[in-house]
Amino acid sequence: MNIPTPEQIEQMMIEKMGLLPESLNAAKAIDPRFLIEQAMSSKFSVQDDKNPFDPKTSMLIMLAVSITLGSEECVEVQTRMLKKMGLSKEELAYLVKIVKHAHTSAVMGNAKAAFKTFED
């Protein structure tokens, strides 16, 4: 398997995302192999030929997770990429509503132990 160089990966990322995210730029300064690791992770998940989801759906999942985890940089880059894929304001609004509902549901689930304390 021929693995691209960090420089080649950086160029591919810039072409795809419009820029190299600051986090990856900082990681590259420490060890350029972080770019290879990031690219390989993408190749074996989002970009995998066996991925049952279309590219837009995969990116929507990534955006939902990034919103949930609070990664502002990822949210910005992924939203920019989704906008190029045709994401509408309505789709974004519903994605945020779904993420908000899932987050609220998780809070309720996490509070179960507290609620159960009052059952006895």
Same domain, 67 and 35: no
Same domain, 21 and 75: no
> Per the structure block, which two tokens stand in for 87?
């994401």
Tell me the residue range of the domain where 36 lies. Answer: 1-44
Q: 57: which residues sit within 8 A by CB, 6+ positions away?
A: none
**Cα–Cα distances in Å, from 65 out to 7, 28, 38, 59?**
28, 24, 17, 10
Number of domains the chain is built from: 2
For 50-84, what is each residue's pLDDT tens digit?
999 999 999 999 999 999 999 999 999 999 999 99
Most confident of 22-26, 38-42, 88-92, 110-114: 88-92
Q: Which long-range contacts (CB under 8 A, 24 or more apart) does 66-71 make?
A: 67/95, 67/96, 67/99, 68/99, 68/102, 68/103
Question: Does some domain include residue 51?
Answer: no
106/50 Cα distance (integer angstroms): 30
6/47 Cα distance (integer angstroms): 18
For 89-111, what is each residue's pLDDT tens digit?
999 999 999 999 999 999 999 99
